[in-house]
Amino acid sequence: MNAEQPSRLLYTTSLSRWKYFRRALLALLAAVASFASAWALLEAANRHLADRLLLDITTLLAIVLGAWFTVRFFFNIIRFISRRSMEIRIYNQGVMWVYGGETHRYKWKQAVRYRQAARGWYLFNRPLIAWGANTLEFQDDDTRERDALKFTAAFGDPRVFGRLVTPYAAYVTSMRMGAALRSEQPVRLHRKLILYPGGLEAGRREIHWADLDISVKRGMLIVKERSPRGKLRTVKRYNTHRVDNVGGFLELVSGLIAQYRAAERYHRQAAHPASALSPRS
């Protein structure tokens, strides 16, 4: 990141675990009220105070509501116990999050891994159900220890988080991966996707950078190989939610592919200068 730029807050959100306790308390009161209503309706039915069929229907409804609120009570109690209160702030210079009385501050240049694994089903741009987390991992410059922020739907819309974080994480991780390859070190993005200085290994297939084609469609990272005749063949497909540093990988690979293809054309023209200069028929 440019150190001359002033720090600017891009996004902030917070989560209080006590909200789950309040929801659990309300659900408990609603469950007690529902079961009490069911008991009163049963007493009314035994005393023939109203139509029996009507009382049976309303009693069943009260029992169903009581069971639902009981489930909600235990659900929120589990959330209250398992989750921590947290505040998250995204800046143009880095990320800060606070939980358990500890403040974690990292600059973007310390990012080492980003995986967008949060997913959900949305209706009118509102989540019906959401699962997974966007994981942003940093490395301390002094201790070399790693710290990870996991952003789930409990903090807000993971898609908004992704749109803000991806450009920064992609730039930094692409630089890190490029440095590793220049040092002759492989980079593993997935258990079946490994980058090497001369190309990558997708599944059990090794592909040179000049013969590689990469695209992302509908949440799938598609790896293709170019044949000597110029035709593309799909080698492997990966769910982007299971691949690390997809944005950085795309930035790095686009440059490497262009570089190696230009070098390939140069060597081909150098080997056949006459054919390269002759006019096409």
- Give the tens place of pLDDT for each residue, 176-219: 999 999 999 999 999 999 999 999 999 889 999 999 999 999 99
On whether the pTM is more than 0.85, the answer is: no
- Those residues with Cβ within 8 angstroms of residue 210's Cβ, 6 or more apart along the chain or in another chain: 226, 257, 260, 261, 263, 264
d(CA 99, CA 101): 5
Structure-token match 């989540």, residue found: 127
CB 205 within 8 A of CB 224: no
pLDDT at 277 over 50: no
d(CA 202, CA 261): 20
Mean of all residue pLDDT scores within the chain: 88
Q: Tell me how far the alpha carbon of residue 218 is from its chain's centroid.
A: 15
Work out the end-to-end distance of the chain between its first and last CA atoms, rounded to an integer number of angstroms: 51
pLDDT score, position 279: 46
8-state DSSP, 7: P
pLDDT score, position 52: 66
The 10s digit of each residue's pLDDT in 219-275 is: 999 999 988 888 999 999 999 999 999 999 999 999 999 888 887 777 777 776 655
The 10s digit of each residue's pLDDT in 95-113 is: 999 988 899 999 999 999 9
Q: How confident is the model at residue 280 (pLDDT cuts 50, 70, 90)?
A: very low
